Amino acid sequence: QVQLVESGGGLVQPGGSLRLSCSASGSIFRINLMGWYRQAPGKQRELVAGINSSDRTNYADSVKGRFTISRDSAKNTVYLQMNSLKPEDTAVYYCNVNGILASTLGTFNYWGQGTQVIVSS
C-alpha cells in the first residue's frame, strides 16, 4: 500500500559526493520516521541516518560531519547528501519509512529496493 522509489546511487571517487533520494507514495496518512541504512558485502545492515516528523536527526558515528539527511514532507521524500565519501562507504543503501496508513490507520514500515554506492578510484 506504500511504494518507495530510491535513486541517486553510483560510482564516485574518494572525496566525492552523491545525493540519494527516496520518495514514498500510496496510502499514507502520516510519516513518523524516515531513515537510510546500508549493507556492505559480508556485513549486517546498519543505520546511517534517520529523521523524524519533527526534523530531529541522528547519524552513525562513522558518517557524522560528512552526511546530511533531510526531508521534504510535502513530497514524502527523504534525501541523503553524502560528502567526503570514503571507500568504506561502499554499500547498498536502503531507505526505510514508517508511519500510519490512510486506508486503515494502521502502522506501516517499508524498505526501498536499495541503491548501490561504490566509492573507488
- Tell me the per-residue pLDDT of 40-50, one tens digit each, with 9 for 90 and over: 999 999 999 99
Residue 27: the pLDDT is 93
* DSSP H or E stretch at residue 82: strand 77-82
Minimal CA–CA distance to 117: which of 4, 2, 23, 17? 17
Binned at pLDDT 50, 70 and 90, residue 111 comes out as very high
What's the pLDDT at 116?
97
- 3-class SS of residue 42: coil
Distance CA 22, CA 83 (A): 18
> Tens digits of per-residue pLDDT, 18-36?
999 999 999 999 999 999 9
Mean pLDDT across 80-102: 97
Q: What local confidence, expressed as pLDDT, does residue 24 receive?
A: 97
